[in-house]
Structures are given as C-alpha cells and as structure tokens.
Amino acid sequence: MQLGRFPRTRLAHGPTPLEPMERLGRELGGPRLWVKRDDCTGLGLGGNKTRKLEFLAAEALAQGADTLVTVGAVQSNHVRQTAAAAAQLGLACEAVLERRMRSPADVYARGGNVLLDRMFGATLHFVDAGTDPAAACDEVAAAIRRRGGRPCVIPTGGSTPVGALGYVQCAQEILTQATDLGFAVDAVVHASGSAGTQAGLVAGFEGLRSGVDVLGISVSRPRAALEPLVHALAERTAELLGVAGGIDSARVAVDSGYVGPGYGVPTQSMIDAVGLAATREGLLLDPVYSGKAMAGLIDLARNGKWPARANVVFVHTGGAPALFAYQSLFDGS
Ligand SMILES: *Cc1c(COP(=O)(O)O)cnc(C)c1O
C-alpha cells in the first residue's frame, strides 16, 4: 500500500494534532479519549474535505480543468473547502447548493459557510430539496463547456475512491502519532455522511492490518443504507491501492441512532454534546456532523461500549463555521 504513487496537491496543514481529551474522558468515566484535529487542516477554516481535495484537485489539474464543479447542502463544508481550494489553485468554482433544510433564517441562507463560499469567489446555484445532485452538476458543467471552459465535477462530499485516499492517509497518520504518544488505538469514531471518510479510514486501517475498529455515526442515512455504501467504496478504494483480499464487510460499522429527525435537523443530544465539548475541552464542534457524532460517542461511552482502559480516537471532521448559521440554538435566545 503506497500512497506516494498517487498525484497529490498539498492543501492541508499536516499532520493535524492528535490530542488527549482528559476532562471529557474523566467526566464520562472512561475510555481514554483522544481527538484527531482534522478541523485544523487549515484550508479555508479546515475540515475533512481538505484531505480528499488534495487527491481530487491533483486529478482535476492533471485533466487540465479550469473549473471545479461540486454540490452540497446550503451550509456545506465540502463546498466551502472546494471553493477555497479552487481559489488557492487559481481555478474557478461553481457549486450547486441544495435547500435541504426548511430553515427560514436569513443567516442559514447567507451566513456561515455561504458567506465563506462567496468570499472565496465561488459561483453559487441554489436548487430545491430533492434535486438530483449528479444531474445538477452535469448541467452546470455542460453550461461551462458551452462557454469554452473545462469543468471537473467533484461529486457529493468528494466521496470517490480517489477522494477516500485522503482518509487512508489519515489512518496512517493516526497510527504513527499514537505510536509516538505511546498508545495503541482500539477504536476510531467519526461523523459519517457520504461514506468517503469512513471508507478511506477502513481501507487504511485494514490495509495496514492494524485491527482498529472504525465506527461511523451516521448524520443522515439509516445504518442499513449507509453500511453497504461505505463497504462498496472501501472495496473500490482498497482495489485502487492494490490491497489484496478486499474488505471484510464485518469491518464496516455504522450507528444511525443519533441522526434524530434528519440531516441537519438539531437534536437535544447534539446541543448537549456541542456544549460539553466547548466547556470541558475548549473544542468547537458543529451542529450537523461532529456534534451528532460526539453525541453518539458520549452516549456509547456512558453505556459501557468500551472498556475503561481502551483508547478511543474521535476524528473531528470540522464544520464549526456552520455554528454561525445555527446561532439561535446556542446563544440562549
Ligand atoms: C462532510 C462532513 C462529514 C462527513 O464526511 P463524509 O466523508 O461525507 O462521510 C463529517 N463532518 C463534517 C464536518 C463534514 O463536513
């Protein structure tokens, strides 16, 4: 398994820190908690899409693209990081933003990530909920081609085998850092949406025969729908890497018990988890992804999922800019 064989454009500050969460761990009564700070990847306020974009942007540049086209929800962190990558690389960016949430708040439609998309110079196309993301991207790409441009479409979340290589690399980084810090990783927990982060982590940890358990906390789909998506993408990623033997589907685990009413819809356990991380660790989570993942980690830890001596790493996938689009949940108003 050699990542060095794949073209990569440096965009991230790395390695991102791996830090203990002692106060939170003590409060929960074990296991030993760590946080992998992928909210600190640097690009345009950071987050997990940056690692994927290092490989995806390299692919786009190799194809001679002059415009990155992508898609996400209105408050998409993926679109924000893609827009920042395009700005840094001298490319244009056009993004389709799906109004998936029925939020009347002006700040949801214009603040947080949307403000940053505009600051990075992206052209935004707002579409109604339920629009097919791939078809919408193809339409935008066709219009760019008619004008003589050379678009490269990056699908939802950058979750292709090439994008997932970013999280194969993260898995390697976590194991190296844990060795330096003097502990063995038992489990990794993170927010799972479009499957790329989890597929990359699974392919990476399995490719290295590390025995690390990966638990994706779903932010949208039910477990029965997300696990097969992750498994299929992990298989394709392992194949790209030349990892022999494929991926055992038993190594793909999703818990969809913390989604609540749906994607982006706040839950009380998310609000509590965001508050706890902020007040005990000075750590900013987000309302859509890492807050729900932390709600899952807290609940599972309290219910004894892991032994007290186990080392559990929470991969902080970023997203804090969306806090400013969900302000009324947190300011007591
Ligand atoms: C996109 C995103 C995720 C989910 O990553 P996937 O690879 O789509 O599963 C998690 N957290 C944050 C903050 C994100 O923006």
Per-run averaged pLDDT (10 residues), the chain, 333 residues: 94 97 94 98 98 98 98 97 98 96 82 97 96 97 98 98 98 98 98 98 97 98 98 98 93 98 96 97 98 98 96 98 93 76
pLDDT of amino acid 333: 65
- Cα distance between residue 140 and residue 143, in whole Å: 5
- Cα distance between residue 238 and residue 242, in whole Å: 6
Ligand 1 center from residue 7 Cα (angstroms)? 23
Residue range 30-78, pLDDT digits in tens = 899 999 999 999 999 999 999 999 999 999 999 999 999 999 999 999 9
Ligand 1 center from residue 197 Cα (angstroms)? 7
Paired tokens of 56: 């995806």
Ligand 1 pocket, 317 CB below 6 A? yes
Q: Report the nearest-CA residue for atom 15 of ligand 1.
A: 77
Ligand 1 pocket, 201 CB below 6 A? no
pLDDT of amino acid 284: 98
Our mutation pick for probing the ligand 1 site, out of 229, 317, 323, 324, counting the most ligand atoms within 8 A of Cβ, is 317
- Distant-in-sequence, close-in-space partners of 29: CB < 8 Å, separation ≥ 6: 301, 302, 308
Ligand 1 center from residue 270 Cα (angstroms)? 16
Residues 207, 240 contacting (CB under 8 angstroms):
no
How many other CB atoms are found less than 10 A from the CB of residue 86?
Answer: 28
pLDDT of amino acid 105: 78
- Distant-in-sequence, close-in-space partners of 278: CB < 8 Å, separation ≥ 6: 284, 285
pLDDT of amino acid 157: 98
Q: Where are the alpha helices (DSSP H) in 243-317?
A: 268-281, 290-302
Which atom of ligand 1 is found nearest the CA of 77? 15
Residues 149, 224 contacting (CB under 8 angstroms):
no
- Distant-in-sequence, close-in-space partners of 276: CB < 8 Å, separation ≥ 6: 24, 27, 294, 298
Which atom of ligand 1 is found nearest the CA of 200? 7
Q: Nearest 5°: CA angle at 175, between 277 and 312?
A: 35
Ligand 1 pocket, 318 CB below 6 A? yes
- Cα distance between residue 32 and residue 46, in whole Å: 26
- Cα distance between residue 114 and residue 33, in whole Å: 33
- Distant-in-sequence, close-in-space partners of 144: CB < 8 Å, separation ≥ 6: 67, 69, 94, 150, 151
- Cα distance between residue 132 and residue 135, in whole Å: 5
- Cα distance between residue 301 and residue 185, in whole Å: 16
Ligand 1 center from residue 257 Cα (angstroms)? 17
Which atom of ligand 1 is found nearest the CA of 156? 8
* 269 is a catalytic site residue: no
pTM for the model stands at: 0.97
Ligand 1 pocket, 191 CB below 6 A? yes
Ligand 1 pocket, 81 CB below 6 A? no
Paired tokens of 83: 């827009």
- Cα distance between residue 235 and residue 243, in whole Å: 9
Q: What is the DSSP string of 221-247?
A: S-HHHHHHHHHHHHHHHHHHHT-TT--
Ligand 1 center from residue 258 Cα (angstroms)? 15
Ligand 1 center from residue 147 Cα (angstroms)? 32
Which atom of ligand 1 is found nearest the CA of 47? 13
